[in-house]
Structure 1
Amino acid sequence: MSSRFSQAMLDQIKAFSVLPQTSVSLKQMVLFGRQPSQITLLHGTQFVHHELPVRLAHRVVELESLPYELSKMSKFRYFTPDGADSPQEVKAYNLKFSECIEKIKRRHDPTTTTVDFFTDASFDALLPAQGIIELKEHWKRTNSPLLYTNATKEPVGITPCQLPLPTAIQSFLDNFYMSRIGIRMLIGQHTSMTKAVCNNTTQEDYVGIICTKTNVGEIASDAIRDARTICQDYYGLYDCPQIKLMGCTDIDFMYVPSHLHHMLFELIKNSLRAIVERYGVDCETYPEIRLVVAEGKEDITIKISDEGGGIARSGMPLIWTYLYTTAEKPLLEEGYNQGDFRAPLAGFGYGLPLSRLYARYFGGDLRLISMEGYGTDAYLHLSRLSDSCEPLP
């Protein structure tokens, strides 16, 4: 492990990293915190106090074991030390435990954005994503066939016939991001409950950051408005494609609203971009996007259909990789995390894979079916049972 860490810290990280992680379900979180009190808060603190250093240590070990010398790249080196400090900070437990872990969470947050409708989940992967961009640029400079076709020398992403390299990176990033989602969920839930108990304030229908009556139609409407706003701003449009909300939209179920907003926002944003770039910014009437909500016994399924031209069948295996995007590289300045930042419409290449991880975190899934030359259907499955435990790596 890196010599950047003291021996004492290395010993602590090693000790925590061999302990098993304890996954919990959405239902368990809600049942535990439904009637918050000082006693339940104490029990919650004891669990987080034990669990958080374990999860953080696992993550630090993963960061130090990055494949293909990723840990030597500047964006990953920037990110690693903060995680490494965290187990030691949490271990130094005191009466301000909640403030301590909230500080850790804030330290991993990018700066507040001028686009105020983005959720915490929307920027969950920003710093590591910059590391992925740096990795892609490194391969481009070395003329790697992983990013170029022999015929045209145009970037096309990772080709299916070259699985060993992308599989290692994909596996690492899936585990890293899923672990990060779990850590942030654990911290967010605990700090929210702590504030509710200490301030003697409860928010109706909420247990921590979990809403027991998350309304699908309301979240979808917010995501539609936000995605259309950024699309109009990005392309300089007076009006962008319309989105029709259909089906069983007035459904309440137990979920984390920010997670649902993030997934819908990403999918709608992709559809808007596909349509605008297919028909051009001067098009007077764009085909509408259809967002259909279906209520089942086990799942709530949301289908987002567009006529943006679809994806070639050969490109379908690439859409879940973190190294592939059909958009140009987003331009972020070196000091982007220290000032105002407006998110690009696309270009990082992690929107779909990260959204799928959010769906799977509580037992759901995300699938895409595309018709090249016509459009794409995205199916977002959300579990209504709420009894699936976190799929921790």
Structure 2
Amino acid sequence: MFHPRGWDLARRSCTSDVLCTASRQRCSSRKAQDISCAPHPRMTKRSLSSGPNFYHNRILEQYAARETRRVTLRQLTVFGRTLSEEKLLKSANYVRAELPVRLAHRIADFQHLPFVVGTNPHIEFIYHLYWAAFEMFRAIKPIETLEQNREFCETVEIMLDRHLVAIPRLAMGIAESSEHLQPREADRFMNEMLRSRIGRRVLAEQHIKLSAVFDGHEHQEESFIGIVNTKCRAEDVVRKCAALAGKIFEDGLGIQPPEVVVDGFLDATFTYIPDQIEYIVFELLKNSMWATIEKHAPH
């Protein structure tokens, strides 16, 4: 059987995606149709050196052989603190060059799955989705003007929306293929997919936000640098997440949730991405509430 933790990770990621993208403007369907999502050959060890897939994988291997250039939260804040046209274009080209490398690493992971797992419709669909994104991003030429950057941001937004289905469908595919994949390998695969997904979305959303602020299309709160809040208030985060978790129990299950008492250094602030820290705290509180109800509810 597929390890339960894999299901939990996938479910939580799906919930997080819905919460994190609710405030982002949806791209028009016309723009979404402009980007082709043509399928690529199905993954198989034999196909790496046969037929048309030989060309595709020669290119893929070049990208997969490159190391990802990771950035820290501090680097995101320092870089985005004072924006200029030169720095914004530098950010655009970093994202443009980094996304296909990170996608290539994940496509290589798909190709190392057992062949029968790769034939699962959900797995195959996401494999094609990643291939289409990889081919599209690697074909984008260096960004030299603000207008080119605006077009690039529109493209990235479309791909972010399109990939919202990735983790839920991957989880279904892995679960349906549990007879052909060891639980430890399934967990490793899903964990790598989730970590890489978070990293890609942070890079993309940070650049999109910086671009919108620089162009004057969005207002930037004083404590924010892109999507990073330099003054996350611990008490506010806990209370917000406690209210949301409690609402799920009340509205979804008809159960009175346990009270959450906030104590300690209530004025403590720190630098973090609100969507990420709220996601973490929300899951911790929700699980704690559930465990409390199961232990202390009358039998």
Assess same fold via TM > 0.5.
Answer: yes
| Deviation string, structure 1 residues 216-249 (Cα, Å, up to 9, x no partner) | 1111111100101111223212x22111111112
- Whether the 8 Å CA contact 1:12–1:88 is kept in 2: the answer is no
2:76 corresponds in structure 1 to 29
- Whether the 8 Å CA contact 1:210–1:255 is kept in 2: the answer is yes
Choose between structure 1 and 2: higher helix proportion: 2
Q: Which amino acid aligns with 1:21?
A: T
1:276 corresponds in structure 2 to 293
Evaluate the alpha carbon distance shift between residue 274 and residue 67 of structure 1 in structure 2; reply closer, same or farther with a 3 A threshold: farther
Q: Which amino acid aligns with 2:108?
A: V
Any residues of structure 2 matched to 1:99-178 within 5 Å, and which? 99-110=154-165, 125-136=167-178, 138=179, 165-178=182-195
Partner SS for 1:39: helix
Q: Which amino acid aligns with 1:18?
A: A
2:41 corresponds in structure 1 to 3
d(CA) in 2 for partners of 1:129, 1:82 = 15
Q: Which amino acid aligns with 1:105?
A: L
| Deviation string, structure 1 residues 260-284 (Cα, Å, up to 9, x no partner) | 111111111112222223344x68x
Q: Across the two proteins, how many residue pairs are aligned to each other? A: 242
Shift of 1:34: 0.6
Q: Which amino acid aligns with 1:274?
A: A
1:64 corresponds in structure 2 to 111
Shift of 1:67: 4.9
The unaligned stretches of length 5 or more in structure 2 are 1-39, 44-51, 142-147
The unaligned stretches of length 5 or more in structure 1 are 111-123, 140-163, 284-393
Confirm or deny that 1:266 pairs with 2:275: no
- Whether the 8 Å CA contact 1:67–1:168 is kept in 2: the answer is no
Partner SS for 2:271: strand
Any residues of structure 2 matched to 1:22-101 within 5 Å, and which? 22-67=69-114, 69-93=116-140, 95=148, 96-101=151-156
Partner SS for 1:213: strand
Q: Which amino acid aligns with 1:247?
A: G
Any residues of structure 2 matched to 1:243-322 within 5 Å, and which? 243-280=260-297
d(CA) in 1 for partners of 2:114, 2:83 = 43
d(CA) in 2 for partners of 1:90, 1:125 = 20
Report the RMSD for the aligned CA atoms in angstroms: 2.4
Partner SS for 1:253: strand
d(CA) in 2 for partners of 1:66, 1:245 = 45
d(CA) in 1 for partners of 2:215, 2:207 = 12
Shift of 1:69: 4.0
- Whether the 8 Å CA contact 1:90–1:100 is kept in 2: the answer is no
d(CA) in 2 for partners of 1:230, 1:133 = 26
Evaluate the alpha carbon distance shift between residue 135 and residue 229 of structure 1 in structure 2; reply closer, same or farther with a 3 A threshold: farther
d(CA) in 1 for partners of 2:58, 2:156 = 21
Partner SS for 2:164: coil
TM-score, with structure 2 as normaliser: 0.73
d(CA) in 1 for partners of 2:83, 2:203 = 16
Q: Which amino acid aligns with 1:197?
A: F
d(CA) in 2 for partners of 1:215, 1:74 = 44
Partner SS for 1:109: helix
Evaluate the alpha carbon distance shift between residue 130 and residue 165 of structure 1 in structure 2; reply closer, same or farther with a 3 A threshold: closer
Evaluate the alpha carbon distance shift between residue 129 and residue 249 of structure 1 in structure 2; reply closer, same or farther with a 3 A threshold: farther
Identical pairs, percent:
27
d(CA) in 1 for partners of 2:171, 2:290 = 20
Shift of 1:30: 0.8
1:199 corresponds in structure 2 to 216
d(CA) in 1 for partners of 2:114, 2:289 = 35
Evaluate the alpha carbon distance shift between residue 274 and residue 68 of structure 1 in structure 2; reply closer, same or farther with a 3 A threshold: farther
Partner SS for 1:226: helix
d(CA) in 1 for partners of 2:245, 2:201 = 24
Q: Which moved more, 1:95-104 or 1:24-33?
A: 95-104
Q: Which fold has the larger relative contact order, with Cα–Cα distance below 8 Å and residues 6 or more apart in sequence?
A: 2
